[in-house]
Every structure is written in C-alpha cells, then in structure tokens.
Amino acid sequence: MTKAASKETPLIVESLWDRLARFPWWLVAIILVLIGSAYFVATNESYQASLLFIVQGISITVQTTLYAYALALVIGLIMGLGRVSRNVIFSNIARFYVEVVRGIPMLVLIFYIAFVAVVDFAGFFGVAGRDVPMNVRAIIALAVTYGAFLAEIFRAGIQSIDRGQMEAARSLGMSYTKAMRYVILPQAIRNVLPALGNDFVAMLKDSSLVSVLAVRDITQVARLHAGSTFRFREAYTVLAVLYLSMTLVLSALVQWLERRLHAGRK
C-alpha cells in the first residue's frame, strides 16, 4: 500500500528546517547525560566510590521487581477474571480489591501491607510477624499493589475480544472456563502485552519505594552511602542514572515487542 502511495505522491523536497525539527534531540540529550555520567565515574573518585557502593543493591532491586511482578501477574489475572465474572461474589471481591488498592497512595499501602497485613496474615498461620523477612514483605506489598493495576489491564484485554468469540466457543460445547482458557485469554493477553510491559518498567521504578522498609535495594544503599559520606550529589546522580539506564533498555524492549506484535498481525 505504501509503495502505491509513494508512486503517486510527487516527491516533496524536505527542507533542512523540517529535518532538524524531526530529529530526536531528546535522545541525543539522554545519551549525552549517560556519557557524561560515565565520564564522571571514570575520572572522579567520589563518583566511582558511589557507583561501586550502590551497585551492591542492584540484585535486590532486580529480584524484588521480578518476584513481585510475577506474583502481581498471578493476582492480576485472577482478579481480572473476577472483574468480568458473572459470579456476584467473585466479581465483587475483585472490584473491592481494585478500588481499595487504587484509592490508597502506594507508599501508604506498602507500609500497611508490610507492617500490618502481612503480620496479621502470618499470625493467622501461627508464624510470628517478625519472622517474615522484610524482603519478602516488600515483594508482597509491591505485588498486591500492582496486582490491582494488572487486573484492570487484563479486564480491558478480555473485554476487547469480540463477544462472538465467546459465543462460538460456547456453541461448540466449551464451558465458560474452557472458552476463557483456549479462546479468549490467548487473544486478550496478546493484546495487552505492551501494557503489561509498560507496567513492568513502572514497577522497576516503584520498587525504589521498598527502601522505606530498609530493604537494601539501590535506593536504600544510595541513601546509606549519602548519609555516611555526605556525598549527596554523587550518590543520587549515580542512583538516578542507574534507574534511567535500566528503564531505557526495558522501554526499548517493550517497543520492539510491540512492533513485532503488530508485524505478526497482518
């Protein structure tokens, strides 16, 4: 189609100004920031020390994000199915969960889950609250929070599938559950993959909130470093650049995935 169109459209000579205006200057700026940071780290001992110290938190940040995201996917899928369910109890539980979580600031929710909900829940199973490690509490807190966002993504994905798909599946004798599993969800999940990817990036950033639980992720480690050396500028610059680098790479991955999905859907 584009070929035919370009044949008929006369060749328009682009002015230099147009080309300059279209150039991704923002990307150049970001790359300069990254290069500048690398230069500081390479030449300045304080920056070097900050980086070496803060990098110790990377594995906690990555682990917390991965585990919490995996758990959030499970919660989100179940609650998303609840949101579209015709079962009154199930759908009300799902709606309650989503509304409560979305109505409370994430930071407050993290405190509440880590210091109240998890402790009560552990007590219910006869485990002392203090025996639950903070890392685990942080993962649960993030997962419960993000589960609500992912539930809404799954709900939107399921509702985007034409009603005729469910009808066709049911007319062939499939139960609601089988129709969901084999017909609706495979299509719905494919549709929401980019949105799920975006939320993964968002969660990586929000994982910094678990530093309030004294979990030694990069944010917490950076705070400790800054506090003990008074090198605030170095510590927080390194911290910000670390997050930026990770999210840039992940965002690029998500975009690549999105393009591939579009290409596959001719």
Partner 1 sequence: MPVASKPIIEIKSLHKTFGKDVHALRGVDLLVERGKVVVIVGPSGSGKSTLLRCINHLEVETHGEVWVDGKRLNEKNKDIDEIRAEIGMVFQLFNLFPHLTVLENIMLAQRVVRGRGKAEAEEVAKKQLERVGISEKAHSFPAQLSGGQQQRVAIARALAMNPKIMLFDEPTSALDPEMIKEVLDVMLDLAKDGMTMIVVTHEMGFARVAADQVIFMDQGLVVEQGTPQQIFNNPTQDRTKLFLSQILQH
In whole angstroms, the minimum distance from the beta carbon of 245 to partner 1 comes to 36
In whole angstroms, the minimum distance from the beta carbon of 181 to partner 1 comes to 8
Q: What angle do CA 187, 188, 191 make, to 5 degrees?
A: 90
Binding mask 133-172 for partner 1 (x = CB under 8 A): -----------------------------x-xx-xxxxxx
In whole angstroms, the minimum distance from the beta carbon of 265 to partner 1 comes to 8
Closer residue to partner 1, CB minimum distance, 121 or 176: 176
Q: What angle do CA 169, 74, 57 make, to 5 degrees?
A: 150
Closer residue to partner 1, CB minimum distance, 54 or 84: 84
In whole angstroms, the minimum distance from the beta carbon of 176 to partner 1 comes to 9
Closer residue to partner 1, CB minimum distance, 109 or 183: 183
Q: What angle do CA 79, 82, 83 make, to 5 degrees?
A: 90
Asked if 73 interacts with partner 1 (CB under 8 A), we say: no
Report how many residues bind partner 1 under the rule CB under 8 A.
19
In whole angstroms, the minimum distance from the beta carbon of 169 to partner 1 comes to 8
Closer residue to partner 1, CB minimum distance, 190 or 233: 190
Interaction with partner 1 in 165-204: which residues (CB under 8 A)?
A: 165, 167-175, 178, 182-183, 186-187, 190
Classify each residue of 13-37 as buried b or exposed e, where b means 16 or more C-beta atoms within 10 Å of its C-beta: eeeeeeeeeeeeeeeeeeeeeeeeb
Closer residue to partner 1, CB minimum distance, 63 or 191: 191
Closer residue to partner 1, CB minimum distance, 62 or 174: 174
In whole angstroms, the minimum distance from the beta carbon of 183 to partner 1 comes to 6
Interface residues toward partner 1, by CB under 8 A: 162, 164-165, 167-175, 178, 182-183, 186-187, 190, 266
